[in-house]
Structure 1
Amino acid sequence: MTLQAPNLDDRQFLELFEEMRALIPRYAPEWTDHNLSDPGITMMQLFAWLGEIILFRLNRVPDRNYIKFLQLIGVEQKPAVPAQAEVTFLLVQPALPIVFIPKGTRISAQVKPPPPSALAYPTLPPEPEDPVIFETDEPLIALGAVLQAVLVAEGATFTDYTEANQVAQQHYPAFGNNAENGNALLLGFAFDGTFPEMELNLFVQLFVEPNNAQETRCDRQTESFPSTEMVVWEYWNGSNWQRLSLLKDETRSLTQTGHIYFRTPTDSQAFQKRTLSNISESLYWIRCQLVDFQYDRTPKIDAILTNTVRAIAITTVRDEVIGSSNGQPNQFFRLRNAPIYAKALRSVDERLRENSTRSFMPNEVEQKAINEKLRQQELIKGFLLEVDEGQGAEPWEEVEDFFNSNAGDRHYTLNRTTGDITFGNGESGRIPLAGINNLVVRYYRYGGGRVGNVGADMITDLQSPVPGIDKVTNYWAAEGGDNEELIQDTKARAPKELKARDRAVTIQDFEFLALQTPGVRIRRAYALPLYHPQFPDTSVPGAITVIVIPDSIAPNPIPSQKTLQAVCAYLNQHRLLTTEIFVAPPKYIQVSIEASVLTRPTANSAEVKTQIETTLNTYLNPLTGGEDGLGWDLGAPVLHSEIFRRILNISGVQRIENLQIVVNGERFPPCTDAPIPINYLVFSTDHDITVNLTAAI
């Protein structure tokens, strides 16, 4: 049962006043004027007002104790998470050989109002007052050469997929329809002049069919194992193919979406043009050749792009003066921006161990070393505050509270949601010496929340001027942004944290821990015991498959490969040694409704039809559907009676003349329920609703 903080007294002003006035005949029978004009009644109103304030603050005491208890056992509110997106820079033509785009380049996105069809999904982020700012997460060397041609070689046969490589909901097989060793993917670059020596960054977006997304095995950390070399990357040097210097392959041989980093040949004359297939233009060619076919499914590619880098929906601020210390205890200041994006604090035990190794009174050299170490720690965390007390600016350390702070500790607290900074009182935490503009936040980043989950082609306004850049856009929607966890949700999560005890044993443990995976937004999770994806019809002892559904406005949300890997890595830290875990995406079946509805004479037919479609889309939804509105259950049938009842309850509907359920194109007879295969979810987008108006009598 969820723990609830007791409400000591819930009486309000009017109740207190009426209670006091009711006691007048008992304690002061001679007082007979109880009208509001009486001075005594006025005093009672004043005391009732003061009493309500005292009761409110008194009721906050157990709430604060509850929160401190949660902090004591390590349960904290989840901070806001910024959204991420891949942004592509388009260079001015004719372009320079290379254009350097520094880390932290800012691009803004103006969120558009949601379309009417999406209003049924409550997770849609609201429209912000200001544009959402994205910053590039790493530096990028943009290539002036244009990716002019994309070919797939199957023996001596070349297939041109140049148009399919354009981001337009198309995809193509990376190594042909009959992939085998020796097949190759070829990329032709058009450029007038010598191909530059540089670090080449290619972004590969793989295509994943909703019901063919692969599960991820969690019995080991894939990052600690080198990927199997199934492909080799080469370039044409004028006479033969030579291997490119591969720096990093996030795609792990085209098995997942990511970036691939190369070093182009140091000898500029080694990279030569040639003409291939029906491509009349002479181009610089790079090829990816399949040398060891080990794919479970042959990879399909949505697009391969150059000049693309990951951007995150946060903004960096430097050297913000937050105010002047007046030497008083418990000083309070507020940053101009919030919420604050920073990594977790060091634990109290870690700080105590570090303090125990220091001298009681460090000399000047030791103090400088301590300051520099603290400065680096705070920069890594993502927030650095310095105070100038007359001997130069020195870094201070953030703490959760001042309970473990001594009088001389240079500590402060930070509310990441509001940006509030509080200093100590001289006994618990040091008071900054008085000065003018001597409190400066050298570095912090702010942002985060669902508002950053903008759609495709919306991150387009370049805020940081970069010479040589024409425009920028995001071909795919930003994802991953989430708001700070509400305190009531933290309270509801605390008993489950205590029950799980940081390990996954029961089915509920796996589902709960999957939902708590940091850095991703998982809305629902199902744990299937004894289920092995490769042996779906056999109970496999020790195997468990966790199906995760991300928080998304899509009618059939599919987790990305990075989301599956994040959940997998998190569960791998908590599983038992003998448990074999798989994290899998959900499988969907499309359901649509064909209905003929008769409306009341006063009803608006268009509005009734819209309400019916919205109701059906909400009900037949993996996140908002089902009987309780918390999401469709795995394998739950679509009941004809439930569909009938929900349509009939819509205002303006008089009767339903015909209603049929269609599942993946199969039309069921009227008054018949539609069974759904086990471990499948339903989704719906299009319905055939005919609305007829009843003639007025």
Structure 2
Amino acid sequence: MSLPVTNLDDRKFQDLVDEAKRMIPQLCPEWTNHNLSDPGVALIELFAWMTEMTLFRLNQVPDTFYTRMLNLLGFEQFPASAARTELTFWLSGATSAGIEVPQGTEVTTLGTVGEPRVFTTMETVAAVQPVLVSALTSDGPDRYTNVWGSLSLGLENVTCFPRTPLTPGDAFYLGFEQSLKGNAIRLGIEATVEGIGVNPDRPPLVWEVWQGEGWVRASVPDLPGEGEVADSTGGLNRNGHVLLLIRSDHQPLTLGGVRAHWLRARLIEPAPGQAAYRASPQIRRVTAAAIGMTVEAEHSERIDDEFLGTSTGKPNQVFEVSRRPVLPRDGHEVLEVSTPLATTEWVEVNDFVDSGPNDLHYMWDSSTGKITFGPVIRYPDGSVRHHGTIPPEGARLRLTSYRTGGGALGNVGVGTLTGMRSAIPYVSGVSNLVPATGGVDAETVENAKRRGPQSVRAGGRAVTVSDFERLAGEADSRVARVRCLAPEQPGDPVRLFVVPHVKQRAEMLVLDDFALPDDMIARIAGYLDERRVLGSTIEIGTPYYQGVTVASLLTAQPGRPASLVRDRAQRALYDYINPITGGSDRHGWAFDTDLNSANIFQVLEAVEGVEKVDEVLFFEYDLRNHERMGFGKELVKLAPDSLFLSTNHHVVVQ
């Protein structure tokens, strides 16, 4: 079997001849005879043959040579990026405030194949004991009734949703004295069985928190421990507790004349097949206690005080750190070069182009972990220049600290991060209630070979729409797709719509999965700010995700189980109408591409076990309020700044 051949330039003999002939009218208009007998055409064919031989030999170069040539042009492969998740540290009991989980706390997986994955907390989080100061009920926008007196004394029941009949949007508000950001809160509920009609395991209400710009969902996960549930009140219908995770920021707001930090239980429109309340729940008393702290963590491990080696005093020295890949620097990484006379701190640079003989500079490759010192270059005029100082012979090199980790291995599932490397007083355990996402392996050579020529051709400048899209993808490896819209009027910003990588099953995707982390936005903005045209402004955000539900009627082939065919059809719909892996090419649903029933007919007809597709209808879906909108249709239009996100597909198999 022959070795694979690299196609750096896939033009063949005839392609080169045709390209040269197309240039004749522009460069030599007086040349009109293009027949094969013409001497000029013979010369074109001769040089095309020689060029084809050159391209053939160029295609034999190994990948290492190709990437080294790109490195000389200032092009580098993307390093690995670290997965992130939220860790919840559970307290051993409801305690007073002041318990902290410090930044840099390490948590590992237990029982996984291979080496444990280590995650490190990104900031310090402290337990805040919640103090209830107010309670309101609302029967419409800007209409509030203060029920704090009744609730605090516990002398009479409080009707949570006052309107009759019950109307989606009515809410029950609880106000707290302090921000509860990062805390897991257990609400103790004393209730009476009045909210009849609902399924206790699936009530049509959501808990939300005010985070400064809007209401976001306060997650209600299952509690750690055997037999425990997150909501034991059956939809505020019986005595029990509700666990809320306040992940996002928690800002104060004035409602009904009271300024506090608010949580609310909001009545929503029941989903198809979901029972609704026939009467409002009634509550006699509410208590609140902090039982945990939630903090963001990344797949990384900090290595402190590593000895690299001893300098030989020669240029172009290379040293390697013991662990790799190396994650982006956070300011704690210091390279110290020690001699008997002094210890100096050196500075990392991207290249040695501007480094002088007295500059204490070095380069650090994140993927390989190699630290390189400056070369000595002999110029055409015979002069010799040191690009960066060379560590003296015998000098000892030491790194004070660096972070290692990253890659797709860090995308661990729910409940896998449970091992604490160090004990924390009053903390009984830890778990991740959401999966870790965002871990991406270092860029492959094959992808670098495709991206390199584009980067070199554009010179690293953001001028055209395609330049902005390409550079935004370069800024952060967590970016899956980018859409750029040019300004409609002079002075308008360039609008970038970014879709992040989401390692989640298609049918499990929700709107919050596509939120852009603040550090990703900052990284893209900073990267583009250095490369944009002077005077242009950039606006970075997410596309508008248009929710869509497919209702279809299928006929299964004889002998095929209806449940199996239904599962396959739903899976095909979720995979096809998907922002990241959907569309006909499986590279994500294309921008500006409408959804029509003809395409869905083709997708469903290709499902194994389907004999025919009888009917397909689309319903627009409100992803924020979780409700279907309007009537069924056979075509759904898509705006230029939008993408489809499918949910709640309904497939009937007969």
| Length-normalised TM-score, structure 2 | 0.57
Alpha-carbon deviations, 1:489-527, whole Å to 9, x = none? Answer: 445445655676777665445544544454863523252
1:462 CA displacement:
2.0
**Contact map agreement 1:413 1:423 (CA 8 A) in 2:** yes
Alpha-carbon deviations, 1:124-147, whole Å to 9, x = none? Answer: xxxx7333322222334434x356
What amino acid sits opposite 1:106 in the alignment?
Answer: E
Alpha-carbon deviations, 1:92-142, whole Å to 9, x = none? Answer: 336355234332111224698xxxxxxxxxxxxxxx733332222233443
The secondary structure found in structure 2 opposite 1:615 is helix
**Contact map agreement 1:256 1:561 (CA 8 A) in 2:** no
Distance 1:150 1:91 in 2: 26
1:167 corresponding residue in structure 2: none
2:274 corresponding residue in structure 1: none
What amino acid sits opposite 1:616 in the alignment?
Answer: L
Is residue 146 of structure 2 the alignment partner of residue 156 of structure 1? yes
What amino acid sits opposite 1:335 in the alignment?
Answer: V
> Cα–Cα, structure 1 residues 495 and 149, in superposed 2: closer, same or farther, change >3 Å?
farther
What amino acid sits opposite 1:637 in the alignment?
Answer: D
1:674 CA displacement:
2.8
2:159 corresponding residue in structure 1: none
2:390 corresponding residue in structure 1: 430
**Structure 2 residue aligned with 1:442, among 394, 400, 407?**
400
2:15 corresponding residue in structure 1: none
**Structure 1 residue aligned with 2:122, among 137, 140, 155?**
137
1:338 CA displacement:
1.4
> Cα–Cα, structure 1 residues 645 and 514, in superposed 2: closer, same or farther, change >3 Å?
same
The secondary structure found in structure 1 opposite 2:334 is strand
1:614 corresponding residue in structure 2: 571
Mapping for residues 68-467 of structure 1, pairs under 5 Å = 68-69=72-73, 71=74, 75-93=75-93, 95=95, 97-109=97-109, 129-143=114-128, 145=129, 151-152=135-136, 154-158=144-148, 186-187=175-176, 202-203=181-182, 253-255=212-214, 288-290=252-254, 307-323=293-309, 332-343=318-329, 381-391=331-341, 393-400=343-350, 412-422=362-372, 430=390, 433-434=393-394, 438-455=396-413, 457-467=415-425
Distance 1:474 1:446 in 2: 21
Alpha-carbon deviations, 1:633-654, whole Å to 9, x = none? Answer: 345333444333334445x547
What amino acid sits opposite 2:393 in the alignment?
Answer: L
Distance 1:384 1:398 in 2: 9
Distance 1:571 1:55 in 2: 33
Distance 2:581 2:398 in 1: 46
The secondary structure found in structure 2 opposite 1:80 is coil
> Cα–Cα, structure 1 residues 645 and 102, in superposed 2: closer, same or farther, change >3 Å?
closer
1:642 corresponding residue in structure 2: 599
**Structure 1 residue aligned with 2:646, among 646, 661, 684?**
684
Per chain length, whose mean CA-contact separation is higher, i.e. which structure has more relative contact order (CA < 8 Å, sep 6+)? Answer: 1
1:334 CA displacement:
3.4
1:624 CA displacement:
1.5
2:552 corresponding residue in structure 1: 594
> Cα–Cα, structure 1 residues 308 and 7, in superposed 2: closer, same or farther, change >3 Å?
same
Alpha-carbon deviations, 1:386-409, whole Å to 9, x = none? Answer: 344444654444455667778887
Distance 2:318 2:517 in 1: 44
1:271 corresponding residue in structure 2: none
Distance 1:516 1:432 in 2: 37
1:580 CA displacement:
8.3
The secondary structure found in structure 1 opposite 2:635 is coil
1:64 corresponding residue in structure 2: 68
Distance 1:327 1:78 in 2: 31
> Cα–Cα, structure 1 residues 96 and 546, in superposed 2: closer, same or farther, change >3 Å?
closer
The secondary structure found in structure 2 opposite 1:618 is helix
1:193 corresponding residue in structure 2: none
1:615 CA displacement:
2.8
What amino acid sits opposite 1:187 in the alignment?
Answer: F
**Structure 2 residue aligned with 1:559, among 515, 524, 530?**
515
Distance 1:148 1:329 in 2: 66
What amino acid sits opposite 2:307 in the alignment?
Answer: V
1:448 CA displacement:
2.5
Distance 1:426 1:161 in 2: 78
> Cα–Cα, structure 1 residues 159 and 608, in superposed 2: closer, same or farther, change >3 Å?
farther
The secondary structure found in structure 1 opposite 2:572 is helix
The secondary structure found in structure 2 opposite 1:464 is coil
**Structure 1 residue aligned with 2:582, among 611, 625, 649?**
625
What amino acid sits opposite 1:101 in the alignment?
Answer: V
- Report how many aligned residue pairs link the two structures: 479
**Structure 1: tracts of 5 or more residues without a match:** 9-52, 113-127, 163-175, 190-199, 206-250, 259-278, 280-285, 344-379, 531-538, 693-697
The secondary structure found in structure 2 opposite 1:613 is helix
**Contact map agreement 1:668 1:674 (CA 8 A) in 2:** no
2:614 corresponding residue in structure 1: 658
**Contact map agreement 2:315 2:373 (CA 8 A) in 1:** yes
Distance 1:660 1:55 in 2: 50
1:444 CA displacement:
0.9
2:635 corresponding residue in structure 1: 674
What amino acid sits opposite 2:482 in the alignment?
Answer: R
2:229 corresponding residue in structure 1: none
Distance 1:647 1:500 in 2: 42
